[in-house]
Structure 1
């Protein structure tokens, strides 16, 4: 058995095209990227640059037209639909802008759902533990309507973390939150990376959110257009302004 890669996810020459013939659209064009374990990466770019497609291909929600995606030492492109579903369930966590909680279930029941779907009987202690981890240990019995937007997003985060995923993906996870609540959720994500070695990959349009990441990868027209390491919100905003102003 070879040594396990230090990368949680690797994309090699990944392209994703939709449609055929003259109407075909290339959402990703020969993208090669590595996401090291225990790091926080933000993905940014102008509208239509391929950010969400990148996230979906990296998380195994969409298959690339060409190229390969590897999670740990497993190449996704070679997996059957069934094996891909199992891998996503066991090793990938996903948080969206819309919290996607079931309104009739309590916080505790929402968090336990991925385990139930996997045919596992959730232990009350593990569910309470992950709720405490996101600062909601005292809200286990509350339903989504009894919680603020920030609390609902933290329940969604706990639900994504209950399976102890290798990688946590966020698609604009703070997009629906006010700036104070957004900061709380980002601080939580940052803490998980620093204290627990969680790998986080987040698409965002917000330079302040991106400044919480170790590095920011920029996409333009489906291609990687450089990155910034440990950058301030101001530097990230300046880079984005430049990209958006660039002639097509």
Structure 2
């Protein structure tokens, strides 16, 4: 494995994903090649139906491409069995979704330690507390989701995603259910994880303000990459997006 490969946390090479077959087949991704360097924060944006979620699912090993290849942390996913894929996702990938997906009967620390239990590993209580402290919830370890605000629940979900020390953190509209102030707090946390801890974050969002926290914005249209913006502010991102929305099909 060459050194240059290991500089990318995730790499997609000519990834195509078709759903269905024959006349009814829909191409969700069309020959997408993208690299996500380690220690960077990328936002993926585009009109509804542009393939954003499919891109995320293929990049994270949740969905298999019809053709092309995906590499996560230097491991090529194409030839992996379902078991090997599950292990890779469990150990090297973290997920945060718009829905917090917490188990309501469990405390914050029990929710955070769940991925370790699923992997048959004994949770280290100090590590669980440390991750909760990292997301600003050190004093909430014993609280259940119903005793928390939406922002606090999303931070528990973030801590749960981080407990396995993943190579890459995937977010699918992670601030979609939050008000703007809480959204900013979660985005600042994600930004800090990239800057301070060298984590790699890949986030699908429709919100130009959320996207402005990223190092770059990758634009998708009809399953193809339609350029990218580097270090752009919310207004520039919004203007570019509205241009995409208005473009003739």
Q: Which runs of 4+ in 1 moved over 6 A?
A: none
Shift of 1:2: 3.5
Q: Higher mean Cα deviation, 126-135 or 3-12?
A: 3-12
Distance 2:200 2:194 in 1: 6
Q: Quote how far apart the aligned CAs of 1:173 are.
A: 0.1
| CA–CA separation in structure 2 for the residues paired with 1:10 and 1:209 | 23
Map of 2:41 onto structure 1 = 40
Note if 1:128 corresponds to 2:132.
no
**How do 1:1-248 residues align onto structure 2 when only pairs under 5 Å count?**
2-3=2-3, 5-248=6-249
CA deviation profile, 1:45-65 (whole Å, cap 9, x unmatched): 000000000000000000000
Q: Distance in 2 between matches of 1:133 and 1:159?
A: 11
Deviation string 1:172-207 (CA, Å, 9 cap, x unpaired) is 000000000000000000000000001000000000
Alpha-carbon distance, 1:5 to partner: 1.9
Shift of 1:73: 1.2
- SS of 1:27's equivalent in the other structure is strand
Report the alpha carbon displacement of residue 28 of structure 1 after superposing the two structures with TM.
0.1
CA distance in structure 2 between the partners assigned to 1:18 and 1:121 by the alignment: 39
What is the deviation of 1:16? 0.2
Unpaired runs of 5+ residues, structure 1, are none
CA offset at residue 19 of structure 1? 0.4
Aligned residue pair count: 248
SS at match of 2:78: helix
Q: Distance in 2 between matches of 1:117 and 1:8?
A: 24
Q: Within 1, Cα distance between the matches of 2:120 and 2:239?
A: 48
Structure 2 CA distance, aligned partners of 1:99 and 1:159? 10
Which deviates more, 230-239 or 4-13? 4-13
5+ residue gaps, structure 2: none
Please report the RMSD computed on the Cα atoms of aligned residues, expressed in angstroms.
0.6
d(CA) in 2 for partners of 1:97, 1:197? 23
How far apart in 2 are the matches of 1:231 and 1:29?
26
Query: What CA distance in whole angstroms lies between the structure 2 residues aligned with 1:73 and 1:137?
Result: 34
Tell me how far apart the structure 1 counterparts of residues 2 and 215 of structure 2 sit (CA, whole Å).
28
Relative to the length of structure 2, the TM-score reads 0.99
